[in-house]
Amino acid sequence: MTELTRHRTDAPLETWIIRYGDVDVGTIAQQDWDPNPERSGVWKWSCGFYPLHRDQCFRGEAPDFETARATFDAAWKVFLPKRTEAEFEASRRQKQWTANKYALWDAGYRNRLGRGPIQCACGAMFNPGVHEETMAHIEHITGRPPGT
């Protein structure tokens, strides 16, 4: 069974990304922007992932990291059994699509996206709005393997 892992980001405040395999499934982050001084230092957590509707996800607040982590874990035990492999795959595909979009932007195609087919460096025409077509040509255009 896949285990949850977490890693700290380089955000100014302590922020942890939680992953289930290769899918980001939540965060736990310290907040200090609340105008109410009694709530400064509160920890916010979320359990869920795109493209799920926010009604299918969980979120909350806790006074400290350990409480936020325990509450996230409890929510995860309710959340995971309701998920399908198709939902996880949709999240992977969305993450790959976004990475490809930015790779195409970096390669100078920013103004061409959304305007029909573009020509690959290999000479073939492809539609960047079709995931499979983009995956077949992304390495030709960017010089990087898909997903890097």
Parent domain of 116: 85-142
Question: Which pTM does this prediction carry?
Answer: 0.77
The total of structural domains in the chain comes to 2
Is 66 in the same domain as 96?
A: no
Is 12 in the same domain as 42?
A: yes
Residue type, 77: K
CA atoms within 13 A on the CB side of 129: 6
Q: Is residue 148 part of a domain?
A: no
Q: Is residue 147 part of a domain?
A: no
Q: Which of 82, 111, 132 is the last residue before a domain boundary?
A: 82
Q: Is residue 69 part of a domain?
A: yes
Is 28 in the same domain as 55?
A: yes
Residue 25 is predicted with a pLDDT of: 96
Phi-psi region of 95 (alpha: psi -120 to 50; beta: other; left: phi over 0): alpha
Is 78 in the same domain as 92?
A: no
- Give me the sign of the Cα torsion angle 67, 68, 70, 71: positive
Is 72 in the same domain as 95?
A: no
Angle ∠(130,22,65) on CA atoms, nearest 5: 130
Is 57 in the same domain as 98?
A: no
pLDDT average per 10 residues of sequence, the chain (148 residues): 86 90 94 66 92 91 94 96 94 87 81 76 83 82 70
